[in-house]
């Protein structure tokens, strides 16, 4: 079997910067493999699966879901509430709930304390802004 001009040009373009030894090894590998294996080797790699999210973030998001506010505002309210509750000064430069949780963990608050703080924040807001029924 001989190669036509287009096939020769394709080979030269694809493999022009390889040494003779590299080309011999490559040709031997190609001869030994079937088409399916070669095409699978050329295919782009599959996407990595998503990392599972933080379970604390999911649970706090569920607790604060009734609060109609952007994530940054929820995070700021949670940090302020926990700062008052634990009588500490906590940095409130969080841009969202995930950043707020990272900051609170860095301030040595446990996950249980953070979750309890979110629940008490919602209870406090419900008490302040809850509606009373008038008969």
- pTM (2 d.p.): 0.59
- The rounded radius of gyration (Å) of the Cα atoms in the chain is 30
pLDDT tens for each residue of 37-59: 988 888 888 888 888 888 999 99
**63-81, pLDDT tens digit by residue?**
999 988 899 999 999 999 9
Q: Report the alpha-carbon distance of residue 121 to residue 35 in Å, rounded.
A: 62
Q: State the Cα–Cα distance between residues 80 and 23, nearest whole angstrom.
A: 66
Q: Where are the domains of the chain?
A: 7-42, 55-129
């Amino acid at each position: 079997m001989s190669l036509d001009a287009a096939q020769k040009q394709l080979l030269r373009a694809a493999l022009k910067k390889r040494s003779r030894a590299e080309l011999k090894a490559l040709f031997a590998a190609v001869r030994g493999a079937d088409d399916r294996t070669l095409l699978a080797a050329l295919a782009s790699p599959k996407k990595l699966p998503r990392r599972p999210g933080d379970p604390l973030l999911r649970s706090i998001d569920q607790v604060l879901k009734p609060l109609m506010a952007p994530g940054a505002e929820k995070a700021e309210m949670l940090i302020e509430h926990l700062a008052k509750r634990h009588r500490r000064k906590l940095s409130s430069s969080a841009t969202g709930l995930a950043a707020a949780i990272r900051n609170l963990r860095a301030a040595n608050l446990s996950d249980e304390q953070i979750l309890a703080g979110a629940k008490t924040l919602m209870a406090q807001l419900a008490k302040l802004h809850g509606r009373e029924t008038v008969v």
